[in-house]
């Protein structure tokens, strides 16, 4: 399969099509996943990390998808991935845990940090979170986190009350200015909102009963050189 970004018809503009999803909670096979160059999953692909059987099924499902590149992070439900042995179970995609990669010509950083949460990736202090976010490079095109930044698609109700976002993550986003920030965790706030520098996408597919209730979000990014 061709591994080069596509050119828009009649131009020299390279475009990468993205398919964004999060919070499938073991119901990944229920999702209607469209074609794209790059698949992004922002965590919680299991439900309370019940067994390695669910993880293996998720990993077996990934090659059934047509995307030539796939990247994901764990979420707070995927607590077993604190253990390096669990991370070895994901062989069909690039798994990021507070680290970066380059895929489809895009610089990507992924972090499972989910503040104020019972999960394994919920550091308790602001200092810990700031330390984990500080290595995010300033040339990052796509930032993937499980939790949202403070005040952006992070309300625990559709009325945007009970903000669950992270102040330290918001500060990191303002410093880095990624073109795209993908997250989930807050199921009620599925959708997109833009700022001058960044498009924020809450890609949580789960409905109230944790089954898949929404479609993955499709976007295109143009490959550009940062100044």
The values of phi and psi at residue 102, to 5°, are: -120, 125
Q: Residue holding tokens 């990021």?
A: 96
- The side-by-side arrangement of strands in the sheet containing 99-103 is 99-103, 106-111, 142-145, 180-183, 199-202, 191-194
Sign of torsion over alpha carbons 104, 106, 107, 111: negative
Q: What is the CATH number of the domain that holds 20?
A: 3.60.21.10
The values of phi and psi at residue 140, to 5°, are: -65, 125
Is residue 8 assigned to a domain? Answer: no
Is residue 7 assigned to a domain? Answer: no
Q: Enumerate residues 6+ apart whose C-beta is below 8 A from 3.
A: 68
Total structural domains in the chain? Answer: 1
Is residue 227 assigned to a domain? Answer: no
Q: Which alpha helices (H) appear in the chain, and where do they start and end? A: 52-61, 84-87, 126-133, 167-176
Q: Residue 112: which of 89, 140, 80, 90 has the closest Cα?
A: 80
Q: What is the mean pLDDT of each run of 10 residues along the chain (227 residues)?
A: 45 85 97 98 88 93 97 93 93 98 97 76 84 96 96 76 87 98 96 96 95 97 73
Is residue 1 assigned to a domain? Answer: no
User: Residue 209 class from Cβ within 10 Å (0-12 exposed, 13-18 middle, 19+ buried)?
Assistant: exposed
- What's the confidence (pLDDT) of residue 35? 97
- What's the confidence (pLDDT) of residue 116? 63
Q: By residue range, what is the domain housing residue 182? A: 13-222
């Amino acid at each position: 399969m061709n591994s080069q970004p596509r050119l828009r018809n009649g131009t020299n503009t390279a475009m990468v099509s993205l398919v964004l999803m999060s919070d499938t909670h073991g119901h990944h096979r229920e999702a209607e996943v469209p074609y794209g160059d790059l698949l992004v999953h922002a965590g919680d692909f299991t439900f309370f990390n019940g067994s390695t059987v669910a993880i293996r099924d998720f990993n077996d499902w990934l090659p059934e998808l047509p995307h030539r590149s796939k990247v994901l992070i764990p979420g707070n439900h995927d607590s077993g991935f604190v253990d390096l042995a669990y991370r070895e179970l994901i062989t069909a995609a690039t798994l990021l845990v507070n680290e970066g990669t380059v895929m489809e010509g895009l610089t990507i950083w992924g972090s499972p940090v989910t503040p104020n949460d019972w999960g394994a990736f919920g550091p308790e202090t602001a200092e810990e979170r700031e330390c984990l976010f500080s290595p995010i490079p300033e040339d990052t095109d796509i930032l993937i986190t499980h939790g949202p930044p403070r005040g952006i698609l992070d309300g625990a109700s559709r009325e945007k009350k009970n903000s669950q976002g992270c102040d330290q993550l918001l500060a990191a986003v303002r410093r880095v200015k990624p073109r795209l920030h993908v997250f989930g965790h807050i199921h009620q706030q599925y959708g997109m909102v833009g700022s001058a520098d960044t498009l924020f996408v809450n890609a949580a597919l789960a409905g109230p009963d944790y089954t898949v209730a929404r479609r993955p979000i499709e976007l295109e990014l143009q490959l550009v050189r940062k100044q």
